[in-house]
Structure 1
């Protein structure tokens, strides 16, 4: 089992028709490997370093950096973690070396027996979700597959945030909800997956 800590809850708020405020959720997984998922914007480095220090973790102690997709609010501080292997969407690399993995064929990437990376395209065509076995059940760190818990009953929230393939996104939202007990969305607090949520998502496919 792993321990999962949400270092920062993501958020998004439309200011007017030309501006919005947004940042992503940032999560820390501690176990056989130390993993950080989604490193926020490039202006958040001090916040992340301070938050990690609260768990006695230095950047060089992180084994994997996972960005659920390549948007700027999810990759901004990847360069803090120079001893880690990096997974950005479907791209797996360490320094200049790239490791080919068939995410496109639906294959999971296994980090260890408690952590795996699942291809969940929709928001972008190379989105991934991190599935983590914890004492409270399986937690899906889903990035922008889910914008927040409110987008279950109001799908216009995630659709208005941008979706390269809404049909795929609907399918993968339902699939992740079937697996997970908890979801960490891209722009909101972690929420518990109920049967009501599963039923609602399955009806939206």
Structure 2
């Protein structure tokens, strides 16, 4: 099953104010996975979007948040029966998994088609979800990529904040080479142009 984008992320400035929310993605299983849960004010619309896919919050087995910023974790509270992966933290209720080491670049394998890969840069604990599906490899990257336009304008992802521009640049290239499609943090899904797979 291909990942289903429930909501496209966005970021914009209007009347001197900055507005942003993240892309939110459902991966139907089993196991069922939701990636990035938007802001804490989005609970009702997220439940309605899940209902349209014949899902309820209790049907979700894993919640993966690409990093811990408030526009990516706000509705985690809805998913009481799921394992939560937020950046490098893996937990269920108050029990934390201490054996998995994202810092050593170890991927967390959910199953044979879904894995969580460390991709630090935007924050040092960023992760991306890599999905093998009928259309190829889709990477759900959070703010490693802001939107399609930042492929040609580095200022977009840099101005969004980067704890390590060097790591972010390295991990962006890794994902570009690996993926057929990218779902970025604040824009619609896009197909990776072939010219970006061969740097230099």
Q: Which residue of 1 aligns with 2:22?
A: 24
Work out whether residues 3 and 31 of structure 1, in 8 Å CA contact, stay in contact via their aligned partners in 2. no
Gaps in structure 2 of 5+ consecutive residues: none
Q: Which residue of 2 aligns with 1:153?
A: 152
Q: Partners in 2 of 1:144 and 1:86 — Cα distance?
A: 19
Structure 1 residue 32: deviation in Å? 2.3
Work out whether residues 2 and 135 of structure 2, in 8 Å CA contact, stay in contact via their aligned partners in 1. no
Q: Partners in 2 of 1:70 and 1:53 — Cα distance?
A: 26
Look up the SS of the partner of 1:178 in the other structure: helix
Look up the SS of the partner of 1:52 in the other structure: helix
Moved over 4 A (4+): none
> 1:22-55: per-residue Cα shift (whole Å, max 9, x none)?
0000000002210000000011001100000011
Structure 1 residue 15: deviation in Å? 3.1
Work out whether residues 182 and 192 of structure 2, in 8 Å CA contact, stay in contact via their aligned partners in 1. yes
Q: 1:85 aligns with which of 83, 86, 94?
A: 83
Q: Which residue of 2 aligns with 1:48?
A: 46
Look up the SS of the partner of 2:3 in the other structure: strand
Q: Partners in 1 of 2:45 and 2:196 — Cα distance?
A: 33
Higher alpha-carbon deviation: 8-17 or 168-177:
8-17
Q: Partners in 2 of 1:196 and 1:176 — Cα distance?
A: 14
Gaps in structure 1 of 5+ consecutive residues: none
Look up the SS of the partner of 2:68 in the other structure: coil
Structure 1 residue 147: deviation in Å? 0.2
Q: Partners in 2 of 1:32 and 1:95 — Cα distance?
A: 21
Q: Partners in 1 of 2:196 and 2:46 — Cα distance?
A: 32
Q: Partners in 2 of 1:123 and 1:65 — Cα distance?
A: 20
Q: Partners in 1 of 2:160 and 2:124 — Cα distance?
A: 15
Structure 1 residue 166: deviation in Å? 0.3
> 1:55-98: per-residue Cα shift (whole Å, max 9, x none)?
10000000000000000000000000000000000000000100
Q: Partners in 1 of 2:7 and 2:191 — Cα distance?
A: 17
Matches for 1:48-87 after TM superposition, within 5 Å: 48-87=46-85
In the alignment, is residue 188 of structure 1 matched against residue 187 of structure 2? yes
Q: Partners in 2 of 1:195 and 1:4 — Cα distance?
A: 21
Q: Which residue of 1 aligns with 2:111?
A: 112
Aligned residues: 199
